Structure 1
């Protein structure tokens, strides 16, 4: 029998970005808001009452959440954890939230302590919901050494599988580049192995957007990604409706509705197959669309989900597996794909 579908560990809005046995790569340039995002990620596991910047998680079994900080000073580490608790509306950390500062330890000792602590956490809490390594680059001597980089990512991935948990790996992007390239061979290998690559990008006005356009099971376009900025009154980063301003592009109206580019793409890919009142079998589309539209079969599945969850297609009540456009989408398709007049060449 095939394995059961994985349970979501973390979501960004409705998009599942982390599941057990997998890696979630979080990347950003320096001072782009990574610590705020990590605090919000942790806060989302604590049954929060406050703003977790769009992250969603559930931990009814109170499994361990283990956080390793390899980058910050003791005070900055403390602030990250206090803000995580504040987002959740809590004053004290539950016993299953286990956070460790490793900055003052030698590299070899950091690597040795991580699996030991995961064994302790699993025994104490009967399982591990998530592990967060804030600074995976500080677990290797040279991120540009391909042998060392591949070995580190392989080691972390094996820990995710061994402990049936999602491991979040935070890594800096190279300075002076806008294409999202992370540090050396370590960044390249982590990008290949990660279930989701979550990118944080900050504009000149202090607005950070989170998005993922490189993932196995989701797609969060930059235009649709959650945004946050520093709030002086709250003394922490909070979600914002202020538009993200990318380089060289005009600023969008903050009051304008945000487009769902994923749905737009799905409608463009499938429109011709459902035009003019056609009913089509899903199995036939699964065979034809990836070839004709030059997309991966996994992308077909994701776009199909977009059509269904947004009510654009309905299944026949009499023939299983047969679908047609919803009445609302059918009206759009009638305009986009008009029937040819009889007798016209």
Structure 2
């Protein structure tokens, strides 16, 4: 872990001073600058879920039909019309889509390709000039990244890139360093080539949080994170919710798969109040914003550290309940770990827990 942190701190070391000067100059934001609003390209109802120059994600447990959902997004982008609840419009010069699959066999990738073409109303007997589909299952994470980078450098007019299996761009899903590097790649590619990247990542099996450090980084940086989950009342139906969205939140919708193997809107499916509440709970504490965490932690800690693990849990349970997040001890243990390891909002030194203080300040508390 220490080596990993040391590596992160050294990242970028040795850059030529002229290069640093150039970066500093072009990175400055001035009051006299003018910027165009990023073009919106994908919507659900009247909520924008994707713009050029950003990235988003879909997440869900195995067999929740994440790839069916992504197929609808791609089909809407190719057809320029609504598919399921997605509307899309790729601007002139950005009308091509690159679909990267990192985990399925070529046979299953071909099935996905055919499904997308059928959804878009395109022939399945010829290749679409606006869709490139590549399968990178047999390659290492570093090679996958290089291939994607090479494809984008070709300047083929991509407006949308799908990475179905972002987890496979790294060796260790729990590596902080690798996670930051992969998310930085998403931000670099989307900004440099002025396109939108939509990634797919699994939820944990044991809980309902996005997997690993990569999930945390993605939730913090993505424009939109969608959650696809099986209906608790009908497993053949999948529900789509927003885990995180910068725009106004859309009403959840549901789809199923018809006899022809295509996703279609679930007829007469309604989200009653209790179902919606369960869905919100299902995504867990990672659905809370940093501001909500800070509000709860301020109430729990005040301006003093808390001594003892159990005392911290009790204080957090009481404080988080005040912001509408009422959970038991087992969830609070995971939440405390998340706050400590991922968000860095809680620091533990010996038997004392501190909220949002630096190690130096923590030492001052010790001396007092």
Please tell me the TM-score bracket, short chain as reference: 0.5 to 0.7
**8 Å Cα contact 2:80-2:88 kept in structure 1:** no
1:118-157 correspondence to structure 2 within 5 Å? 118-120=152-154, 122=155, 125=156, 127-157=157-187
1:274-289 correspondence to structure 2 within 5 Å? none
Deviations 1:295-317 (A, max 9, x none): xxxxxxxxxxxxxxxxxxxxxxx
Distance in 1 (CA, whole Å) between partners of 2:93 and 2:270 is: 36
Give the match for residue 218 of structure 2. Answer: 190
- Normalised TM-score (structure 1): 0.65
**8 Å Cα contact 2:80-2:90 kept in structure 1:** no
Going from structure 1 to structure 2, the CA distance change for 1:57 and 1:148 (only over 3 Å counts) comes to same
Give the match for residue 34 of structure 1. Answer: 66
Deviations 1:171-212 (A, max 9, x none): 00001224xx11111000010000111111112412111121
Give the match for residue 227 of structure 1. Answer: 254
Give the match for residue 201 of structure 2. Answer: 171
**8 Å Cα contact 1:17-1:218 kept in structure 2:** no
Give the match for residue 282 of structure 2. Answer: none
Picking from 233, 242, 262, the partner of 1:212 is 242
Distance in 1 (CA, whole Å) between partners of 2:272 and 2:220 is: 26
**8 Å Cα contact 2:229-2:240 kept in structure 1:** yes
Stretches of structure 1 lacking an aligned partner (at least 5 in a row): 251-293, 295-345
Picking from 88, 107, 123, the partner of 1:57 is 88
Distance in 1 (CA, whole Å) between partners of 2:65 and 2:74 is: 14
Aligned residues: 241
Picking from 132, 138, 143, the partner of 1:98 is 132
In the alignment, structure 1 residue 78 sits paired with structure 2 residue 110:
yes
**8 Å Cα contact 2:78-2:130 kept in structure 1:** no
Residue 213 of structure 1 deviates from its aligned partner by: 4.4
Distance in 2 (CA, whole Å) between partners of 1:118 and 1:144 is: 27
Residue 243 of structure 1 deviates from its aligned partner by: 2.5
Picking from 248, 254, 262, the partner of 1:236 is 262
Distance in 2 (CA, whole Å) between partners of 1:185 and 1:242 is: 38
Deviations 1:65-112 (A, max 9, x none): 111000111111111111111011110342231110011122221111
**8 Å Cα contact 1:134-1:170 kept in structure 2:** yes
Distance in 1 (CA, whole Å) between partners of 2:181 and 2:111 is: 32
Residue 244 of structure 1 deviates from its aligned partner by: 6.0
Distance in 2 (CA, whole Å) between partners of 1:113 and 1:26 is: 22
Which secondary structure state, in structure 2, belongs to the residue aligned with residue 9 of structure 1? strand
- Normalised TM-score (structure 2): 0.61
Stretches of structure 2 lacking an aligned partner (at least 5 in a row): 1-32, 277-322, 324-368
Distance in 2 (CA, whole Å) between partners of 1:80 and 1:44 is: 14
Which secondary structure state, in structure 2, belongs to the residue aligned with residue 238 of structure 1? strand
Deviations 1:23-62 (A, max 9, x none): 101111111011101111110112267x722111123525
Residue 240 of structure 1 deviates from its aligned partner by: 1.2
Going from structure 1 to structure 2, the CA distance change for 1:226 and 1:139 (only over 3 Å counts) comes to same
Structure 1 runs of 4+ aligned residues shifted over 3 Å read: 244-250
Going from structure 1 to structure 2, the CA distance change for 1:168 and 1:160 (only over 3 Å counts) comes to same
